Amino acid sequence: MAQRSASKRKRQASTTGQPHTHGKSRCLRILRQLSAYIDDELSTNICQEIRQHLGACPNCETFVMSLRQTVSLCRHSPAPTLSTADRALMREKILKTASSR
């Protein structure tokens, strides 16, 4: 909770005109770990460091949001389905090929 409000304060600071002062190298270090971050695979300390960075860096915050959306879209992409007729036809073909060799 305390982390969340600290992050919120930083975000507010970043959107109220405070310049984005850190160098890009930090963003790039974060960017390399973003999949592990959104998959919840990082240690508590690293997660906290990333959350703090995201709160202060609108660029990285937008980036991580779009990466999350990408994963979410993949997860919800409609599943292609087979017709009953195709299912039966393929079964016949497989058994025929298997018994012919």
Q: Please give the Cα distance from 62 to 30 (Å, whole number).
A: 13
Q: What angle do CA 11, 4, 16 make, to 5 degrees?
A: 15
Near other proteins by CB under 8 A, which window of 4-12, 44-52, 64-72? 64-72
Decide: is 23 part of the binding site for other proteins (CB under 8 A): no
Hey, how many other C-beta atoms are within 10 angstroms of the C-beta on 29?
12
End-to-end Cα distance, the chain: 66
Task: Indicate whether 46 belongs to the interface with other proteins (CB under 8 A).
Answer: no
1 vs 99, beta carbon nearer other proteins: 99
Nearest distance, CB of residue 23 and other proteins, angstroms = 14
Which among 4, 56, 50 has a CA at the least distance from the CA of 28?
Answer: 50
- Cα separation, 61 vs 67, in Å, equals 10
Q: Quick check: 29 binds other proteins (CB under 8 A)?
A: no
Q: How far is the CB of 93 from other proteins (least distance, A)?
A: 6
Shortest CB 11 distance to other proteins, Å: 15
Is the Cβ of residue 8 or residue 93 nearer to other proteins in the bound state? Answer: 93
